Amino acid sequence: MRQSEPNLTHHQEAGASPNPGVTGHFADEFRAKHIIVTGGAGYIGSLLVAQLLQRGYRVSVIDNLLFGGESLITFLSNPNFHFARADVTDVRSLRDSLQRNWPQPDILFHLAGIVGFPACQAVGKQAAWWYNVEATKNIVEQAESLRIGRFVYPSTYSAYDLSFDGSPVTEESPLNPQSLYAETKIAAEEYILPRGALVFRLATPYGISPRTRFDLVVNQFVLDAYIKRELLIYQRGYSRSFVHVQDVVRGLLLALNAPDEKVRGQVYNLGSANGNYTKDQIVQLVIKRLPEIFVHYKDLTFGGDRRDITVSFEKIHRELGFKAMLTVDDGIREVVNVLRLGLIREPQHERYRNAHFIVR
């Protein structure tokens, strides 16, 4: 990871309204909404930033651009967008990245970190712990000192223990990390939840974003089927939970205006009951869109990320009114179309992966 290198690329004049077309009471409401997104150039972060700007919020992004910054280029002309290139492990990364003539931030989405089982295995336990646990502690402590009112943190459903009776796991189910990545996320949760953070345990994302990833199960299956005309499947019968990246962002956006009593110190599984699939079912959906492929199965397990879990999303639906809008079939069709149209050049390039290898 690179060291802190502040590079403020855009700012707004002091006193300017974040939405020139909004006046009066609503202008005051918009002025109060200054959002920070760490890891805003990433797979989820870049799509979240786009949605926040579309809604008229001021958005400050902090990212070290490990995977490049192309996903942010389209935002540079927006007067409500501010970018700082910094490493979240630096003790003043948040403080030094703020735009001086902007109001104090109200909400912080902390998405920066080493994301995924393969990436954490690749960098090793010490680095994974440093960037996912210690950096999170650093950011939340800075947020508290700045009196940022709401801290939102995406975690993972692989934090749960395996459900041996097949019943869906809930937010109250026992935790037993299935990988080094999950270990770091649980450790971070244990530190920030007593301090009032809001935690979303995400299902496995899929779909296209400004910084698409092809090291996620659904996206990787589609890419392999399209490029190689074959799929090699491990852990065949395992059940997993999936959610479109756009629905992830829809869920995260609920943190903006939800009542404090519903989010302070709360955990929500973020996904949909319709997103619980076995790998065989995912393969069949890929074949529906790309029928001329060969599928090979290999009986092999790995020393980590043994997810064989069905997840309950009843709490987020009941308490926050969340409902997923897209299905796995929608996502597969979307990725196939992007590949066929050539909209992503060199989709096998390492910049579309958080690690140099993929475990299925």
Task: Please tell me the distance from the alpha carbon of residue 356 to that of residue 349, in angstroms, as a whole number.
Answer: 9
- Nearest Cα to 360, choosing from 307, 289, 291? 307
Lowest-pLDDT choice from 1-5, 59-63, 263-267, 337-341: 1-5
- Does 2 score more than 60 pLDDT? no
**pTM of this structure:** 0.88
So what's the pLDDT on residue 167?
86
Task: Please tell me the distance from the alpha carbon of residue 185 to that of residue 347, in angstroms, as a whole number.
Answer: 28
For 313-326, what is each residue's pLDDT tens digit?
Answer: 999 999 999 999 99
For 69-91, what is each residue's pLDDT tens digit?
Answer: 999 999 999 999 999 999 999 99
**Overall average pLDDT of the 103-112 stretch:** 96
pLDDT bucket at 237, cuts 50 / 70 / 90? low
So what's the pLDDT on residue 177?
87
For 65-125, the DSSP string reads: -TT-SGGGGGGTT-TTEEEEE--TTSTTTTGGGS-TTSPPPSEEEE--S--SHHHHHHH-H
For 218-236, the DSSP string reads: HHHHHHHHHHHSEEEEEST
pLDDT bucket at 117, cuts 50 / 70 / 90? confident
So what's the pLDDT on residue 3?
37
Question: 43 — phi, psi (to 5°)?
Answer: -60, -55
So what's the pLDDT on residue 24?
40
More confident residue, 4 or 294: 294
**Tokens 């140099």, residue?**
356
Residue 181 · residue 120 · CB < 8 Å: yes
**Overall average pLDDT of the 294-309 stretch:** 68
Establish how many alpha carbons lie within 13 A of residue 295's alpha carbon, considering only the half-sphere containing its beta carbon. Answer: 18
Task: Please tell me the distance from the alpha carbon of residue 200 to that of residue 45, in angstroms, as a whole number.
Answer: 14
For 15-41, what is each residue's pLDDT tens digit?
Answer: 334 444 444 434 444 444 899 999 999
The CATH class that applies to domain 113-352 reads alpha beta
pLDDT bucket at 300, cuts 50 / 70 / 90? low
Residue 49 · residue 83 · CB < 8 Å: no
**Overall average pLDDT of the 247-260 stretch:** 97
Please report, for the chain, the start and end positions of each structural domain, with discontinuous segments joined by +: 113-352
Taking the chain, what is the end-to-end CA distance rounded to the nearest angstrom? Answer: 26
State the average pLDDT for the chain. Answer: 87
Q: Is 310 helix (H, G, I), strand (E, B) or coil?
A: coil
So what's the pLDDT on residue 122?
87
**Overall average pLDDT of the 265-280 stretch:** 95
Residue 299 · residue 186 · CB < 8 Å: no
Q: Is 153 helix (H, G, I), strand (E, B) or coil?
A: strand
For 143-188, what is each residue's pLDDT tens digit?
Answer: 999 999 999 999 999 999 876 677 899 999 999 987 999 999 999 9
